[in-house]
Structure 1
Amino acid sequence: MSQNPSRAKQAKLIRNFRKIHRITGLVLFVFFLFVAISGILLTWKKNSGGLILPKSQKGTSTELSEWLPLERLQSIALQVYRDSISAETVPELDKIDVRQKKGMVKFVFNEGYWGIQLDGATGAVLQIERRWSDLIENIHDGSVLDHWFRTDGGLKLFYSSITGLALLLFSVTGFWLWYGPKRMRKKLAR
């Protein structure tokens, strides 16, 4: 007789987990789709043949003593941006990536995910690139929302927290949806 109330309790728990799992899945479907697709693309970025992540070009010298000063290289990159990408936009520099072993410096801009690779020694333009990998990373971690709405990290924090907590919730409820019936059958067999 004590098995029936226990069994009913377990069945109710499993039904509740199934309901939570289903509702959360419906509500967060789009978030998971973005996280999954962007995660797959990020996994393949270095093996995309330059489609997702532009290849780093090689400059003429790896000796830093032969390089132009970083200020001069930055000035060249800003001018190349104005001449080749957009004369109307005031370019905002996101980061400077110095690749000594390649003899090259990458200048990455916030607007439009553009990058410019310059030869460290001569300042010659090695490549003007669209940095799709940066956009995909921003979609993956939610910072694209802060970029679009010009907020200071709050939307990324919300997006990442919701997707992380939902993944944790899915793991727990999914486990119980798998394990709960097994446990019930095992108890019934006794």
Structure 2
Amino acid sequence: MLTYYYEILIDFSLFSETLNKFLLKIKINKLAKSTRLYRKLHKTIAIVLVLFILLISITGALLAWKKELYLQPPTSKITHNNKTLVPLEKIEQNAIAYIDSLQLSTTINRIDYRPTKGIAKVRFEDHFTELQINCYTGKIVSVKQRTDTIIEMIHDGSILDFLIKNDASVFKLFYSSIIALGLIFISVSGIILWINPKKIKKIKSTDNQ
């Protein structure tokens, strides 16, 4: 009788061991399958986005060093000697008159008014010219191109919206969203591709014990 129960116990133990190995094998196969899928998607998305990632990285580095590389026009130094500031309307009129003489669009994008420094920077909507105007005399002291603005537009994708005159910034939103989602997926899938092989190795080592 004891022998009978002993044999049953052995059979149950063997069955349990076989079942455990079978379940571990299923788990390994699932991990391996998901790893192959993530590897394929990771590789495909990385290949599609690699040029855009390089573009964003290069333009981002240039923007970080824009002052050192003189991509942004330096601010002109003005000596005021307690002079009276000219009205902002006068600065606007002088900027429009000068740009009109160059046969460029006179639509102003913004005026960066800095009375403490005695300078006003005027930027335009349809081109990258920057005028720096003396706030005390109203005279134009600098005419430069905003190269950093061009690089910034390339960086965030708004350059195409600018070229096709699209005020809704549709391409910028689409471009930024796709790149962001792609980078998030590459980051997450990269972590999964690093973790899954370790999990498989751990399961196999447990199975061999």
Q: How does 1:1-190 map to 2 (within 5 A)?
A: 1=21, 2-48=23-69, 50=70, 52-61=71-80, 66-83=84-101, 86-87=102-103, 89-151=104-166, 152-190=168-206
Contact 1:38-1:137 within 8 A present in 2 as well: yes
Offset, 1:56: 0.9
Offset, 1:62: 8.7
1:124-150 deviations in Å (ceiling 9; x for gaps): 222111101111111111111211112
User: Identical aligned pairs, as a percentage?
Assistant: 34
Larger Cα-atom Rg: 2
Distance 1:100 1:186, change over 3 A: farther
Contact 2:130-2:146 within 8 A present in 1 as well: yes
Gaps of 5+ in 2: 1-20
Q: Residues of 1 paired with 2:106 and 2:40: CA distance? A: 49
Offset, 1:174: 1.2
TM-score by length of 1: 0.89
Q: Residues of 2 paired with 1:184 and 1:103: CA distance? A: 68
RMSD: 1.8
Structure 1 runs (4+) deviating above 4 angstroms are none
Contact 1:62-1:101 within 8 A present in 2 as well: no
Contact 2:56-2:155 within 8 A present in 1 as well: yes
Aligned residues: 184
TM-score by length of 2: 0.81
Gaps of 5+ in 1: none
Contact 2:38-2:189 within 8 A present in 1 as well: yes
Q: Residues of 2 paired with 1:187 and 1:54: CA distance? A: 61
Q: Residues of 2 paired with 1:102 and 1:54: CA distance? A: 15
Q: Which residue identity does 1:175 align to in structure 2?
A: I
Q: Residues of 2 paired with 1:114 and 1:53: CA distance? A: 11
